[in-house]
Every structure is written in C-alpha cells, then in structure tokens.
Amino acid sequence: DGGITQSPKYLFRKEGQNVTLSCEQNLNHDAMYWYRQDPGQGLRLIYYSQIVNDFQKGDIAEGYSVSREKKESFPLTVTSAQKNPTAFYLCASSMNSWGGELFFGEGSRLTVL
C-alpha cells in the first residue's frame, strides 16, 4: 500500500547525542515536510523540500538538519544543539509544492533522558 513510513516510532536518547529520524514515502510525491508537535499544541514546520537535493528551513529549523538525496527519503537529524528535543515528530508529503493535501506518517516520539 502507498504511504509514508516513519521510524523508529519511539526513541530515547541521552543529552548531547545526535539522532536521525527516518521518513520514507512510496507515493511518488515531490514535496516532503517535517513538523514538530509538543503536547497539547499544534504542528510547527521544521524543514521542507520541494524536490530532490533541495530543502528550505521552516519556522523552527535551529538544531535540526535534513537531506533529500532521493525522492522517497527525507531523514531528519536532531542534533545536540536542539535545546528541547523531546517532542512528537511528524513527516508529511504532498504531490507537489503548490497544491493538494499533506499526507502524514504515524510519527516518531523522541524523548531525551
């Protein structure tokens, strides 16, 4: 079935460690996005990518990095520079960058111990 797969679903890390969250889609979508959600809050955009080998910062990019080497994949690295990394991370894609709804993965919950 077509969709977006995020892994891992739950992740624990110690302070000072980098961690990479995986996002893979088989929908043949051009655009991909990473959002962060804190408890009881809405989603905030971290990074987005319209095409392969191109990505832009969203509203809260500090402490995060991404890559888009393949159309299907858009991994997010939470670096040690991110001061409050504990959150729920959602990856999404859309057919293109100017229309259509976003399709979301099931999310990755990161807890920093």
Partner 1 sequence: AQKITQTQPGMFVQEKEAVTLDCTYDTSDPSYGLFWYKQPSSGEMIFLIYQGSYDQQNATEGRYSLNFQKARKSANLVISASQLGDSAMYFCAMRETEAGGTSYGKLTFGQGTILTVHP
| Interface residue list for partner 1 (CB under 8 A) | 31, 33, 35, 40-45, 48, 50, 56, 58, 88, 90, 92, 94, 96-107, 109
Residue count of the chain: 113
Displacement of CA 42 from its chain's centroid (Å): 15
- Closest approach of partner 1 to the CB of residue 18, in Å: 23
- Closest approach of partner 1 to the CB of residue 16, in Å: 27
Quote the CA–CA distance of 111 and 90 in Å, as a whole number: 14
Quote the CA–CA distance of 93 and 104 in Å, as a whole number: 7
- Closest approach of partner 1 to the CB of residue 80, in Å: 25
